[in-house]
Amino acid sequence: MGNDQTTIDTIRAALSPHGIFLRGIVHFDGDGPEMAAGISAGAVVLLGNIGGSIWPAFSRWRTGKEPDIANPLDTWSAEVIRPLAERLGGQAYFPSQKPWQPFQQWAMRAEGLKASPLGVLIHPEYGLWHGYRGAIGFADRIGIASVVLADHPCDRCHDKPCLTHCPVDAVKPMSFDVAGCRSHIHSPEGQADCMTSGCLARNACPVGPSYRYPPEQLRFHMAALGRL
Ligand code: B12
Ligand code: SF4
Ligand code: SF4
């Protein structure tokens, strides 16, 4: 546990200046993700942003880079997290890297979160304004697995405004009409609403307003969604 605590403290200290936080730890019994050595990980440390926490560090990094660099947020995340994982003898995983690792299942186990009707996991404090930037897998179990049974805000949200604010009804309970959303965000109306202010369905959620992403970050994520 002593060495575990050092590893955990090292992760926290190395990543917090970048606005990336240790979100939780998952332990596995042979069902962990594969590591480079061909073994399955015994634990994964989940890393992510809380509100707009990554935006200042990411924006500084981006200044001076080619403006058309592909997948800049993924590139930055890998530059920050991968060397740390290697230094600690672990393996880095990234949400957009194929094969896709089950980041949301890990988050449900690590933080006790549940899905909102949008598909995005909702946090009782941060609402929909958080995400995952990577994870570090270790061969052996590390730390204490977080099993936090969080309160689920959607259970006591009777009006569910996230289900009524999409202009093209792309958001239905637990199903997302990707084609409908995409066609709207490419239209002049979509450029003026969702692409400028962020997803109107996500914006309508009343939970965690102080964690809402800054306008530039909202536009950045929408532009990325529009390119997919
Ligand atoms: C593919 C994908 C998409 C596809 C979904 C296509 C589809 N219908 O399946 C598209 C491009 C539409 C998408 C959109 C968005 N996504 Co997405 N997406 C992913 C990705 C890369 C893989 C999902 C997957 O298949 N995983 C593999 C399986 C094995 O893992 P899993 O944990 O079991 O999978 C869960 C998800 O698949 C989920 N799910 C199923 N359908 C959908 C649909 C949507 C929209 C979401 C969000 C989740 C979701 O159900 C599973 C629960 O067990 C994940 C990252 C990751 N590696 O998980 C991000 C991820 C799920 N997305 C995320 C986000 C934030 C979004 C957007 C809000 C992005 C944005 N622009 O801001 C939008 C949602 C738009 C909206 N209006 O709400 C976050 C969610 C964070 C959170 N708090 O939960 C993730 C985890 C990425 C990250 N870096 O944090 N996404
Ligand atoms: S608006 Fe209500 S139901 Fe929708 S995500 Fe927010 S809390 Fe959940
Ligand atoms: S981005 Fe716009 S069109 Fe897409 S789901 Fe959100 S509100 Fe609907």
Residue 48 Cα to ligand 3 midpoint, Å, equals 23
Q: What's the domain count of the chain?
A: 2
Is the Cβ atom of 178 under 6 angstroms away from ligand 1?
yes
Cis-peptide into 215, omega within 30 deg: no
Sheet holding 43-50, edge to edge: 21-27, 43-50, 130-138, 91-93
| Nearest ligand (C-alpha, residue 118) | 1
The predicted model gives 169-175 an average pLDDT of 88
Mean pLDDT of the chain: 93
SS (H, E, C) 153-172: HHHHCCCCHHHCCCCCCCEE
Q: Supply the pLDDT for residue 150.
A: 67
Overall average pLDDT of the 123-147 stretch: 92
Q: Which long-range contacts (CB under 8 A, 24 or more apart) does 86-90 make?
A: 88/7, 88/10, 88/11, 88/136, 88/138, 89/138, 89/139, 90/45, 90/136, 90/137, 90/138
Quick one: which atom of ligand 3 is closest to the CA of 118? 5
209 in the same domain as 118? no
Residues 22 and 128 grouped into a single domain: yes
Q: Do 169 and 97 reside in the same domain of the chain?
A: no
What mean pLDDT is predicted for residues 86-105? Answer: 96
CB of 137 sitting under 6 A from ligand 2: no
Write down the pLDDT at residue 34: 95
pLDDT computed for residue 117 by the predictor:
94
Quickly count helices (H) and strands (E) in the chain.
9, 8
Residues 51 and 97 occupy one common structural domain: yes
Closest C-alpha to ligand 3, atom 1: 199
Residues in a beta bridge with 43 = 27, 138
* Ligand 3: centre distance to CA 172 (Å): 11
Ranking 4-8, 115-119, 122-126, 184-188 by mean pLDDT, the lowest is 4-8
User: Residue 138's domain spans which residues?
Assistant: 2-149
Could you tell me if 45 and 121 lie in one domain?
Answer: yes
Range 54-81 average pLDDT: 92
* Same domain for 177 and 128: no
Which ligand 1 atom is at minimum distance from the Cα of 202?
A: 78
- Between the CA of 52 and the centroid of ligand 3 the distance, in Å, is 20
